[in-house]
A and B are shown apart, each in its own frame.
Chain A
């Protein structure tokens, strides 16, 4: 029963609540901004980040 409550709550949160939150103005803007900059918010380590972003960072450092 407890597991069913966990699963049900997670399903509601991920399938209904979070998609709605993601479409709210400021949150949507933030998500779009991160996407445009090729930033994976959940990257654990730098090598998890998009290769283009890593290459941009290296280029920027070299040019400085």
Chain B
């Protein structure tokens, strides 16, 4: 018998492990919070989860003893969970522990770099520094062989997305009533589809996955949408890295430019808020830009962005379905039947949506449900941030800078982002004006 035949089969798939790990962590946090008592509602496990905090002069300012304890506990728990998954997916895998600790240490460094107050004020956050840390190593000294067992970017991303599902409460989709729905529900899909078609038909971008990831990144809500879409259409690692870099670059400019135009032209606060929420990518930048126009503008801006955040699940599902039924079948294969569609479909998307539905139901119908969900997700959002950060470190470590340069050839992704964002700015401005100024003016 050959060596290949003796090798044991993997147990489960990456998607199923992501659903199991993410869903399991969500369930543990929810149950722990629910049984800890309601006065006040708090998660007793919250102390065991932490990430580095904000600092100005020295990183030590953001690393108290309590935070260190939370970081070590998180590292220990994640090491156990991801090692189990990695060894099930790759039977016989050895050396996960030292590899994971190194990747975790680089993720900690990325949080520390992103936590500096000046850097934070520019909305440059940990994904960028995680990618750069990985890139700096892989493109200079090369990735040490011992790190390979822990380079599981997709597993970390998918687990993070299932955790993120618990934070997305479907009732928020209706938070601003018809005006908010029009700005987020109408403009976002229109800009996404128009930008994707523009990339394909006009710019002739070869990689459809890069095209859709940049389009979703720009039209929905930046990095988080890029992560979800990239996983849904199985985009390459360097394509996600590029989309994240472009998004952060434009966000750092737009968070100052959009409010400046709104102030300069004396726009109505709610109109300006909706414009900011619908066009600036990251939520921190939206809140900061909205705040410069006052509390009302900030509230509308944050709520429009919140609705877009909730739409990520729907968009990831739509992109995954489109990819397995149209794009992959057009690439030399026949129109797939239901069985084939199910086989190809990225199942973690169902975990992502399922978590959102379950937590929405608990928030809406359980006694003190909203408080319990808020307390439980206060902890899971930190775990989700660690998953994303680990993923971006792994992606950076596996990305060859020459591949990134190749993707940027002729600047097409930048042109795509700029043109799509221009459409987004104009369309959001117009629809927000109609909805917030003409049809539903402030009372």
B188 on the interface (CB 8 Å rule)? no
Which of A3, A39, A47, A61 is in CB contact (< 8 Å) with B287?
A: A39
Given known A39-B287, A44-B125, A60-B299, contact A18–B118 (CB-CB < 8 A)? yes
Residues of B within 8 A of A15 (CB): 58
Q: How far is the CA of A56 from the CA of B282 in the complex (A)?
A: 19
Q: Are A41 and B378 in contact (CB under 8 A)?
A: no
Which of B117, B140, B175, B287 is in CB contact (< 8 Å) with A49?
B287
Is B223 an interface residue when CB atoms closer than 8 A count as contact? yes
Q: Which residue of B lies closest to A30 (CB)?
A: B121
Residue A25 interfacial (CB < 8 Å): no
Q: Which of these binds chain A: B29-37, B93-101, B300-308, B417-425?
A: B300-308
B442 contacts which of A40, A61, A64 (Cβ < 8 Å)? A64
Within 8 A of A (CB), among B150-202: 164, 167-168, 175-176
**B296 close to A (CB within 8 Å):** yes
Give the shortest distance, in Å, between B250 (CB) and chain A (any CB). 15
Q: Is the CB of A37 within 8 A of B291?
A: yes
Please tell me if the beta carbons of A22 and B118 are within 8 angstroms of each other in the complex.
yes
- Chain A residue nearest to B109 (CB atoms) is A10
Take A3-B141, A27-B121, A64-B442 as given contacts and tell me if A48 and B299 are in contact as well, using a CB distance cutoff of 8 Å. Answer: no
Q: Does B416 contact A (CB under 8 A)?
A: no
Query: Interface residues of A: mostly helix, strand, loop or mixed?
Result: helix
Are A47's CB and B309's CB within 8 A?
Answer: yes
**Distance, CA A23 to CA B114, complexed state (A):** 17
Please report which residues of chain A, range 12-58, place their CB below 8 angstroms from some CB of chain B when the two chains form the complex. 14-15, 18-19, 21-23, 27, 30-31, 33-34, 37, 39-49, 51, 53-54, 56-58
Q: How far is the CA of A7 from the CA of B113 in the complex (A)?
A: 12
Report Cα–Cα, A46/B310, bound state, in Å.
Answer: 10
Q: Tell whether A41 pairs with B120 under 8 Å between CB atoms, given A47-B381, A49-B287.
A: yes
Mask of B106-142 contacts with A, CB within 8 angstroms, 1/0 = 0000000111111111111111000000001100110
In B265-305, which residues have CB < 8 Å from any A CB?
282-285, 287-288, 291, 295-296, 298-299, 302-303, 305
Assembly CA distance A33 to B164 (angstroms): 29
Alpha-carbon distance A42/B284, docked complex (angstroms): 5
Please list 18 pairs of residues, one from A and one from B, whose beta carbons are closer than 8 Å in the complex, sorted by A's number: A3-B136, A14-B59, A18-B119, A33-B291, A37-B298, A39-B287, A41-B120, A41-B123, A41-B288, A42-B123, A42-B124, A42-B125, A42-B282, A45-B224, A46-B305, A49-B283, A53-B302, A61-B299
* A-B contacts besides A14-B113, A57-B299, A64-B443, 5 pairs, CB < 8 Å: A44-B224, A45-B164, A47-B377, A49-B284, A57-B303
Residues of chain A whose beta carbon lies under 8 Å from any beta carbon of chain B: 2-3, 6-7, 10, 14-15, 18-19, 21-23, 27, 30-31, 33-34, 37, 39-49, 51, 53-54, 56-58, 60-61, 64
